[in-house]
Structure 1
Amino acid sequence: MDRIERIHQLLEKTPKDNFLRHALALEYMKVGREQEARGLFENILSEFPDYVGSYYHLGKLLERMGQPALALEWYTKGMAAARLAGDKHAYGELQAAYEDVDE
């Protein structure tokens, strides 16, 4: 059984588990299923805007998909969420990603 299939099985039991949904999005990215990964990240963040780790990965995915302006928007939202959470490490990573975006 591959990782994607295994995560799907686990999500059947706990469909709103953000750790699993985030992990599934990362697995989708690895195999080139970018739209599915994007949808998962966007769903996580629309439902749970304090799930700080997904902002970085969504931004990187959007950059890879040729949407730097949208990536900047998500990095900005992520920095605000990280600031609210007091997560200086995540804030720094998001800020560095923001500053590295080529528009």
Structure 2
Amino acid sequence: MKESDSSPQVGQIVSISKGRDAGQFAIVIQLLDDRFVLIADGEKKKFDRPKKKNIQHLECFNYISQEVRSSMLETGKVTNGKLRWALGKFMEDVLEALEKGDEFDG
């Protein structure tokens, strides 16, 4: 999988590489500054109680959920159901790409 080099964007899927939640996936829901973002997954980390993470502790994928992104840009919020759905879709797309033997790059 390709990691994106630029700073994270709202709606981007990330993998947590450090801390208690290492190995889990989440979605960036807000950029705080050039070092920190808020992430949520709709399950353990709900939209109303997101996790503040240092972007150095995240692996960013070249995959942005347009549904989450547009919801955040239009209303400033997103449902936990939509976060779970977007992560599920990401996992399906990744698994499909891996099964075909392609390198997944979003």
TM-score interval w.r.t. the shorter chain?
under 0.3
Query: What is the TM-score with the length of structure 2 in the denominator?
Result: 0.26
Larger radius of gyration: 1
* Structure with higher strand content: 2
Query: What is the TM-score with the length of structure 1 in the denominator?
Result: 0.27
Name the structure, 1 or 2, with higher relative contact order (CA <8 Å, separation 6+). 2
* Structure with higher helix content: 1
